[in-house]
Amino acid sequence: MDWHVWLAYFVASWVIAVSPGSGAVLAMSHGLAYGVRGASATVLGLQIGLAFILLVAGAGVGAVLVASAGAFMVVKLLGAAYLLWLGFKQWRAPVTLDDGGAQAGPPVMRLRQRVLTGALTNATNPKGIVFMVAVLPQFIDPKRPLLLQLLILLVTTLAVDTVVMHGYALLASRLRALLRSARARRTQNRVFGGVLMGMGASLLMVDRAVKAG
C-alpha cells in the first residue's frame, strides 16, 4: 500500500471514528457508569465488532448483504432491535441511593458482558457494513495482495477507533462528579437511552442505495 493512500485512509478513519454513533454513545454511557478503566472492556468489544464488519466487507460478504434485499433486511432488523432494547434498558435503569450519593445504571455488568455488548453494538450495525462496502474499495489496489492491505486497514481503523472511543469515555467520566444526584443520574439514563433508541429507529431508514466501487 502506497504511503499517500494509507495517509488518506488514516485521516478518513479519524473522521469516521469521531462522528457520533451508537458506539460513541455506548462508550460515553459506560464511561459515566464505570469510569475509563471500566469502559475499556466496552471499547474492546466495539473493536471486535468493528473488525468483524471490516473483514466481512473486505471479504465481499458485505457487498452481498447490500445487494440482497432479504439478507440486508435481516441485518437491519437485528441491529435496530438490539439498539432499541439496549436503549430501553438504559432508559429504565434504576437509580438507587448509597451513602448519600446516587448510583445509577446501566445495571452493573461484568467485564465479559461489557465486551459482548460493545461487540454486538458494532457488529449488528448495517450502517457500518454499507459504509465499509462503499469506502474500502477506494483504498484497495486490486493488483496487490488483498490480505495484507486488509490487515493494514484493519490495524489502522482499530487503533484510531480505540483512541477516539477512550476519549469519549474519558470525557463522560469527567462529568461523573456533576451527576451524583439521583435526578441527574436519572436524566443521564434517559438521555443515553433515548439516543440509543433513536439510533435504533434510524437504522430502519437505512437502505441499500450505497454501492461499492
Residue 94 predicted with pLDDT over 80: no
| pLDDT tens column, 99-134 | 444 444 445 678 898 999 999 988 887 767 777 776
Percentage above 70 pLDDT, the chain: 68
- Return d(Cα 75, Cα 208) in angstroms, integer: 12
Residue 81 predicted with pLDDT over 80: no
pLDDT at 1: 74
- Answering whether pTM is above 0.75, one says no
- 57 grid coordinates: 466487507
Q: Note every long-range contact of 32-36, with CB atoms under 8 Å and residues 24 or more positions apart, other chains counting.
A: 32/172, 32/173, 32/175, 32/176, 32/179, 32/188, 32/192, 33/104, 33/105, 33/106, 34/114, 35/173, 35/176, 36/166, 36/169, 36/170, 36/173
| pLDDT tens column, 124-170 | 877 677 777 767 777 777 778 878 888 998 999 999 999 999 999 99
pLDDT at 103: 47
Query: Residue type at 13?
Result: S
Lowest mean per-residue pLDDT among 122-126, 175-179, 180-184, 206-210? 206-210
Q: What is the mean pLDDT of the chain?
A: 76
For 180-203, b/e burial (b = at least 16 CB within 10 A) is eeeeebbebbeebbebbbebbeeb
The residue among 29 and 115 whose pLDDT is bigger is: 115
Residue 34 predicted with pLDDT over 50: yes
Residue 95 predicted with pLDDT over 70: no
Radius of gyration of the chain (CA): 18
Q: How many angstroms separate the Cα of 58 from the Cα of each of 19, 149, 154?
A: 22, 10, 10
> Are the C-beta atoms of 185 and 102 separated by less than 8 Å?
yes
Q: How many angstroms separate the Cα of 161 from the Cα of each of 2, 58, 103, 155?
A: 22, 18, 29, 10
